[in-house]
């Protein structure tokens, strides 16, 4: 899957450092999905972007890198390569967010890994302000069906771009944490980064 890594492994000892294959592929129009990793307070993150914008953010402690890349190759394009410079903006903004210096992400997003009601749920989630929270019913209502709060929970659980699409801001109506793809400890950390404010009014 990672062409660059395979080439480096197959190179004889003493071979000069290979050029940046991801950037060369991008310049030649042969790169559809660029990816890079980021060390964060939540562990190593894998970020992937297309020409449209950030398309995937994965917690590598919970997912295998090769599986994430295989999913991207299957669902978007097999032309997936490590190209860290293509992810400079998302990595910088995430670093600023974790350091408490950024309250809103200014990143183009590629929404193609979600559709229909699930996409509407995530779009409603993306509108929740920094430091605030909402309930599953509220985001279901924002997506057009207030009774579909269980389906909203499923959509949030399959969020392809957590943190940036802030599904950690969704709580149970009684104030309980609910679920989180990255695990509840990560959800607690993210809420703490943002000040852990109380849920908005609503059932």
Closest Cα to residue 59, out of 128, 159, 194?
Answer: 159
Global pTM reads 0.83
Residue-wise pLDDT for 48-104, tens only, equals 999 999 999 999 986 789 999 999 999 999 999 999 999 999 999 999 999 999 999
Instruction: Quote the CA–CA distance of 102 and 105 in Å, as a whole number.
Output: 7
For residue 107, name the pLDDT band (cuts at 50, 70, 90). Answer: very high
Q: Which of 46, 140, 167, 193 is the catalytic position?
A: 167
Kindly list the distances between the CA atom of residue 57 and the CA atoms of 4, 13, 108, 164, in Å, as whole numbers in the listed order: 21, 34, 13, 8
Residue-wise pLDDT for 123-178, tens only, equals 999 999 999 999 999 999 999 998 998 999 999 999 999 999 999 999 988 778 99
pLDDT of residue 22: 63
Domains of the chain, with CATH numbers?
Answer: 3-98 (3.30.160), 116-193 (1.10.10.10)
pLDDT of residue 63: 73
Known catalytic membership, residue 9: no
For residue 13, name the pLDDT band (cuts at 50, 70, 90). Answer: low
Instruction: Quote the CA–CA distance of 153 and 139 in Å, as a whole number.
Output: 9
């Amino acid at each position: 899957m990672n062409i660059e890594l395979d080439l480096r492994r197959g190179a004889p000892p003493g071979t000069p450092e290979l050029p940046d294959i991801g950037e060369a592929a991008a310049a030649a129009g042969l790169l559809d999905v660029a990816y890079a990793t980021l060390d964060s307070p939540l562990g190593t993150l894998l970020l992937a972007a297309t020409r449209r914008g950030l398309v995937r953010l994965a917690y590598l402690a919970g997912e295998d890198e090769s599986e994430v890349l295989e999913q991207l190759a299957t669902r978007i394009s097999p032309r997936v390569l490590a190209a860290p410079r293509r992810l400079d903006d998302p990595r910088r903004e995430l670093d600023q967010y974790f350091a408490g210096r950024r309250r809103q992400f200014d990143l183009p997003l590629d929404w193609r890994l979600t559709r229909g009601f699930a996409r509407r749920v995530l779009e409603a989630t993306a509108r929740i302000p920094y430091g605030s929270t909402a309930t599953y019913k509220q985001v279901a209502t924002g997506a057009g069906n207030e009774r579909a709060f269980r389906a909203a929970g499923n959509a949030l659980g399959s969020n392809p771009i957590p943190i940036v699409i802030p599904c950690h801001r969704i709580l149970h109506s009684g104030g309980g944490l609910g679920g989180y793809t990255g695990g509840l400890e990560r959800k607690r950390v993210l809420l703490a980064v943002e000040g852990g404010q109380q849920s908005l009014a609503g059932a």
